[in-house]
Each structure stands twice: as structure tokens, then as C-alpha cells.
Amino acid sequence: MKLDRKRKHVFTSGNSVPKKSLSADKKVIYAVLGTMILPVLVMMVFTGCLADLPIKLNDKSEESQVETSEAETTQDTGTESASDTETAKDSGTTETEKAYANDFTLLDLEGKEVSLHDFEGKIVVLNFWATWCPPCRAEIPDFVETYNEYKDKGVQFLGVSDDDVKSLNDFIKEYEINYPTLLDGSKDTIMGKWGITAIPTTFVLNGSGEVFFNQVGMMSKDMLVKAIDAALQEESGY
């Protein structure tokens, strides 16, 4: 009799929940959490909370890389260097003029040709970006502010984008961008040639067009200023 009472107590005491009911409750909880977390993540991306992450360009070839080494630059400019040598000999000079490295020509938003060598002798900040890219949008105000501070110190900013002209004009007006924005795919398509697989990507070039610094992902103003100052210091020889 005692054993029977004990067994009865085991089956009747407590308010245990059947396993099936517990599993169903978990599923409901997970579903609710999922619907709450997903919108938060989307909002974080588009409000700039994740703005320091570069946006991958999957359709760009990873095989194309910016030619920054001395050997590659020599290969690309070999014909020009030979031509410069002949010109120097004809003019009686003894030194060969060095060709401007990494040169290209694109159209600006007004349809005018702009070449990289137009800014020979200046430090060039070359920024690849797009209007739809959150980290690009986040860094643009610092770029505009920094350009205003350095434009009279031998520094030129250039933006390169493959957006449509209307989107770019609207964005430039909104953010008050006062340096040239060039259209990739106008006279040439250079993103692949520069090895751009994610944006924003920024290069700082010396006065000869050679890459001094590059950054994949958003740049803070402090990072940008340090890179420009270092390039200016090297260019001056101090």
C-alpha cells in the first residue's frame, strides 16, 4: 500500500509540462525573436551603425589589381618612357622624364574629360564609392571637410562612381561635394583595373601618380588626415 501511494504521488504531484508543449513554446519564442532581430539589423546597416564595413562588389574581378610595384609600373609605362628618352635626346637634355603612373581619363558630370595626370605634382585622394553604399555615405562629410582644409596645400580629391548621373547630382547637391566626381565607364572602365572588389576604397597618390596609401572600407577623418600629411611630408623630402 505504501508503494502504491508513492507511485500515485509521482504521477499526480507537480505541474509538469508535456515535452511537445514545451517544444511548441520554444518555436514560438524563436519565431518572435527572429522577427524582432531582423528589422533591427537592417536598420543598423542603413543608419550607419555598420558603416565601417566595406560593401563587396561580387561582379568585379579579383584578378585585376592596382599596379603599384616598380616592376609593374615600368612594364605599363615602358613605351612612354622610351618615347620620353627619344624626346629628351632630341632636345639635348640628359634626363628622361618619368611618365605619370596609373593614368586614366574619365568624364565628369558635366561631360568634360578629366585625366589623372591633370593633377601631376599634387597629392591626389582617389575615392571609389557609390550613392547606395552606407559606409560611402558615412565618410563623405569628412572627405568634403578635409578637402576644404587641404585644397590650397597641393592636395586634390577625386571621386569615381558608376552610378547614374541623376543620382550623383542629387547626392552631390545634398552633401555639398565640391571636388570632381568622375563616371566610371564613360571614357574607360577603371574599377577593375584598380582591383576594386569592395567600396568604399580610397587611394592616396603622390605627385607622380604612384600609390602611397590605400584603404578598403570607410576612412575616418583622422585616418584621412594622417595619410595626407604623410604623403605631403614624403613629397617635400622632409
**pTM confidence score:** 0.65
What is the structure's pLDDT at 237? 81
- Gap between the terminal Cα atoms of the chain: 101
Which amino acid would we find at residue 55? I
Average pLDDT across each block of 10 residues of the chain; the chain has 238 residues. List them in order. Answer: 46 46 61 63 47 59 41 45 44 53 96 97 98 97 98 98 96 97 97 96 97 97 98 89
Does residue 180 contact residue 158 with C-beta atoms inside 8 Å?
yes
Report CA dihedral (52, 57, 62, 68) to the nearest 10 degrees: -50
Beta-carbon count within 10 A of 225 CB: 16
Beta-carbon count within 10 A of 28 CB: 10
Q: Quote the cell numbers at residue 121.
A: 605634382
Residues acting as catalytic residues: 136
What is the structure's pLDDT at 8? 44
Does residue 141 contact residue 217 with C-beta atoms inside 8 Å?
no
Q: What is the DSSP string of 133-161?
A: -HHHHHHHHHHHHHHHHHTTTTEEEEEEE
Q: C-alpha angle 107/65/75, rounded to 5°?
A: 90
Does residue 211 contact residue 205 with C-beta atoms inside 8 Å?
yes
What is the structure's pLDDT at 81? 45
CATH class given for the domain over 55-66+102-236 = alpha beta
Q: What is the DSSP string of 16-70?
A: PPPHHHHHHHHHHHHHHHHHHHHHHHHHHHHTTTTTTSPEE-TTS-TT-----SH
